[in-house]
Amino acid sequence: MDFFTQNLKCLQECDPELAKRVASQPFPDNVNIIRSKDGSPVPKIAGLTLHSQYKTLEEGERTTAEFVFDPKRKTVVYGLGFAYHIQALLHKQSGDLIVIEPLMTLFKAFMTHVDIRPFIPRVRFRIGETPACLLARLEPDDWNIFKHLPSIRVGEVYYNRLDEGLEVRKSLQQRALRVMIVNPVYGGSLPTAHHCAGALKNMGHEVATVDCEAFEQGFFSLKGVTRHPENAEILSRNFMNFMGEIAAAKAAEFQPDLVLALAQAPLTPDAIQKLRALNVPVVFWFVEDFRTLPYWNEIATSYDHIFTLQDGPFHDELRSKEVRDCYYLPQACFPDIHKPLDNMEKGIYQADVSFMGAAYHNRVQSFPRLLDLDFKIWGEGWNLETPLGQQVQNNNKRVSTKETVEIYNAAKINLNLHSSTYHYGINPDGDFVNPRTFEISACQGFQLVDNREDLSRMFKIGEEIIAFDTLDQMRAQIDYYLARPEERRAIALKSSQRVLLEHTMEHRMQELLIHVFLDRRTALDSMEKNDRDPLDYCVEQAGENTDLGQYLKQFKGLRTAE
């Protein structure tokens, strides 16, 4: 019997992102289905059958008989097969299961031949996800693992890497890495660089930053020195070389275990090569749209690893240029900053609808339809002489991170329309999610966001976040949710819970480190385990010359009684 259509509808209700991925997967030609003696379907891959060809359910009971359940830990199953072992595990315990399976082709075959309704309430399927992503988001410290041995044989490389990732994650928890971050001179990726530094410090690592933003005024001053393009290019190149020398000097002094450069960091290929001479991983997080800022072409092959907000076509292009390693890593929030503000005086930030962002073409074209509302705009580049520009509250001045959080907290509805320089309204091919999406959610702000290809990877659309596909739908949703404050609050709370569970900057930094050091375990193991006095860390965070820092220093050398 073909269960696929029925199963897909069930899966869409509980995991729409996985449903979308399996629907786009061609029906597998590498999975053969045979029938066991009791009539049950059994998958066969690469000559290996994943279950008994005689009595599948009895085999499931037998192979799980010695597995010891622990109610305080998550039961995690390595290997899906056709889930006869999973049925047995569900009968033996009352809790939920997580099933990790690398092969989407096998999952499609499973969806075609097995009724998934008995599994849906209690099983979370994690299919085709990278080990680093799983280990960063699923808190593996409390995993109780059952290994389905036939699945392990078929996916041996993947499951070995997952086990190695567990060891790398544990090693990273025991070691304070020295991470040097190269900040951009200016722009939207600069706050992300600051959040990366904060997250890594929270994780116990030692962080040094190359504060390129300190040279912003000098960088822009160069543009007024000469009108000749050739001379301007020479000055710009010399500035980049100078910034590269600064980064190299900082690295020579700090001796990092890893160098992380953010998008628009002023590093030339020569500067990157000097950093790589330290024999530590030099990685790049390109938190921009690769179609809008194509300068990545000049530097992509210089880095050891490139992390990107987009995969698919971007990764195809990177691989065509023989980039060493490219990895999908979306944006995130930083809850130390992006959080609900209790008893906040909303004041000028209060509005029915708020938008925080720059005056990109599609926004200028789209927002006039909202002028009959209590609509406030915060950002840069707006024409203040137009009716739309009169809604701008900050006179086109830069909005601080603190103000941004207050805006997100105060508005009834935060509008989040991703930027485009050439679309009238919504980019139909938008394939990355901006940081604002996660930051608004972390503040427990309610938002309406234009639908993006990757949005369903992050949230349950319609339950944890509300998305619009057209400008007419955007306006209709604004009117609907303005009249329903309880619905807004319920959705905003679910959205906040999701980002705190899976989409913080600490999640992203942990995923990045696990991925990078999976192939550098020897180097990681050679680093000393943490032996730092926690009091030293507290003094450093407080500031050695602050009142709190001076107070804490008086306790150095003292030990509490055993």
pLDDT at residue 541 in the model:
62
Mean pLDDT confidence for 355-367: 96
Mean pLDDT confidence for 484-501: 98
Cβ pair 250, 220 in contact under 8 A:
no
Left, alpha or beta for 434 (phi > 0: left; psi -120 to 50: alpha)?
beta
Mean pLDDT confidence for 406-428: 92
Instruction: Determine the Cα–Cα distance for residues 439 and 499; give it in Å rounded to an integer.
Output: 9
Q: What is the mean pLDDT of the chain?
A: 92
Task: Answer yes or no: is pLDDT of 271 > 80.
Answer: yes
Task: Answer yes or no: is pLDDT of 559 > 70.
Answer: no
Instruction: Determine the Cα–Cα distance for residues 144 and 134; give it in Å rounded to an integer.
Output: 15
Task: Answer yes or no: is pLDDT of 562 > 60.
Answer: no
295-352 pLDDT, tens per residue?
A: 999 999 999 999 999 999 999 999 999 999 999 999 999 999 999 998 888 889 999 9
Band (pLDDT 50/70/90 cuts) for residue 222 is: confident
164-181 in b/e form (b: 16+ CB < 10 A) is bbbebbebbeebbbbbbb
Mean pLDDT confidence for 103-128: 96
Mean pLDDT confidence for 396-425: 93
Partners of 98 in the β-ladder: 76, 124
221 compared with 281, residue with greater pLDDT: 281
pLDDT at residue 536 in the model:
65
pLDDT at residue 1 in the model:
67
Task: Answer yes or no: is pLDDT of 544 > 60.
Answer: yes
The encoded tokens of residue 262 equal: 């953010």
CA-based nearest residue to 273, from 245, 294, 315: 245
Task: Answer yes or no: is pLDDT of 364 > 50.
Answer: yes
223-258 pLDDT, tens per residue?
A: 778 777 788 788 888 888 899 999 999 999 999 999
Task: Give all domains of the chain, ordered by start, each with its CATH number.
Answer: 4-172 (no CATH), 177-328 (3.40.50.2000), 347-502 (3.40.50.2000)
Instruction: Determine the Cα–Cα distance for residues 437 and 426; give it in Å rounded to an integer.
Output: 16
pLDDT at residue 156 in the model:
96
81 compared with 141, residue with greater pLDDT: 81
pLDDT at residue 534 in the model:
56
Mean pLDDT confidence for 480-499: 98
Q: In what order do the strands lie in the sheet with 411-416?
A: 375-378, 351-356, 411-416, 447-450, 466-468
Instruction: Determine the Cα–Cα distance for residues 250 and 245; give it in Å rounded to an integer.
Output: 9
Cβ pair 285, 184 in contact under 8 A:
no
435-469 pLDDT, tens per residue?
A: 999 999 999 999 999 999 999 999 999 999 999 99
Band (pLDDT 50/70/90 cuts) for residue 476 is: very high
pTM above 0.85, yes or no: yes
pLDDT at residue 346 in the model:
84
Q: What angle do CA 496, 497, 502 make, to 5 degrees?
A: 100
pLDDT at residue 561 in the model:
38
Band (pLDDT 50/70/90 cuts) for residue 117 is: very high
